[in-house]
Amino acid sequence: MSKELKTGREEKKTKYTAPIADIYETESEYIITMDMPGVDKNGIEITLDNNELSIMGTLENPMETENLKHAEYRLYDYRRTFRVGDDINGNSINAVMEDGVLTLNLPKKDEVKPRKIEITVA
Amino acid sequence: MITTFDIFDDVLKLRDMVDTFFRDTPSAGNRPYDFPYVNIFEKDDKLDLRAVLPGIKKEDLKIELNDRTLTISGERKNTCTDRPCIRRERSFGSFSRTFRLPYSVKGESISAQLKNGILTISLEKSDEAKPKRIEIR
């Protein structure tokens, strides 16, 4: 019985939502914005492993279900993985968490940025 | 009881099942509720509304109570209009949603808090809405 209860809890733990995201590209960087309501900045974990950028978000407070009378949504921890190209400078990724929205700035490597070539007149 | 068996009955049933599945499955643009989605909690005389509003600033949000109707309205501003978008899943724009409360609430004790994209509105039942005991003389 107790074993059953335990496994039930573990199953619950493995539920995730894939947060919805927008991706923008500029000359110098990629910007990913993701909706992760209920997560504060301490609950965010970002890892870049080879070409896989994974974002995990843990809810600050697990969703309460006690006294719930009308439900339209459910909150789970968030998890989403993006495959990124080789043109990203992995060391200078910047992340900002604000109002439940995570903004990631992925700067491009200098080699791929457009360059202006000065013409020197001899 | 004698029933006739029609080989197509099951086929039609299956078609209905598929139709129901596609019609009722919540997907983007086909949600049974309007934005923002809310969860309502009720305990004793307290009513809590929790709405998911990621990326919305306090200044862009308006909450109005009019007798027994509560309206949440505002605008979700697109912060990246000037940049080319290569993937778009989130939506922006103005929204408004009105709720009819089950009873009148104390206007002066309403509190609202916006944290991590979740808006919590706490309401309390007004004294007029509470059950009254009538003394028999």
A85-116 pLDDT, tens digit each:
888 988 899 999 999 999 999 999 888 778 78
Place of tokens 């697109």: B78
3-state secondary structure of A7: helix
Domain coordinates of chain A in residue numbers?
17-62+70-109
> What's the mean pLDDT in B94-108?
89
Domain coordinates of chain B in residue numbers?
34-79+92-129
Query: How many other C-beta atoms can be found within 10 angstroms of the C-beta atom of residue A26?
Result: 14
- What is the full DSSP assignment across B4-64? ---HHHHHHHHHHHHHHHHHHS--TT--SSPSSPEEEEEETTEEEEEEE-TT--GGGEEEE
Contact A21 B52 (CB under 8 A): no
Distance CA B134, CA A106 (A): 68
| A-proximal residues of B, 92-111, CB under 8 Å | none
A22-26, B11-15, B47-51: the lowest-pLDDT one: B11-15
Contact B114 A99 (CB under 8 A): yes
| A-proximal residues of B, 5-24, CB under 8 Å | none
Q: Is the pLDDT of residue B118 over 70?
A: yes
Question: Which residue pairs, CB below 8 angstroms and at least 24 apart, start in B62-66?
Answer: B63/B112, B63/B121, B65/B105, B65/B107, B65/B110
Per-residue pLDDT band at B11 (split at 50, 70, 90): confident
- CATH top-level class of A17-62+70-109: mainly beta
Using an 8 Å CB-CB cutoff, list chain A residues near B42.
67, 69
| The pLDDT of residue B30 | 55
Residue pair A86/A36 in contact (Cβ under 8 Å)? The answer is no
pLDDT by residue (tens digit) across A35-77? 999 999 999 999 998 889 999 999 998 888 888 888 888 899 9
Which of A67, A80, A84 is the best residue to mutate to test the B interface, defined by the most B CB atoms within 10 Å of its own CB?
A67
Q: Is the pLDDT of residue B5 over 80?
A: no
Q: CATH for B34-79+92-129?
A: 2.60.40.790
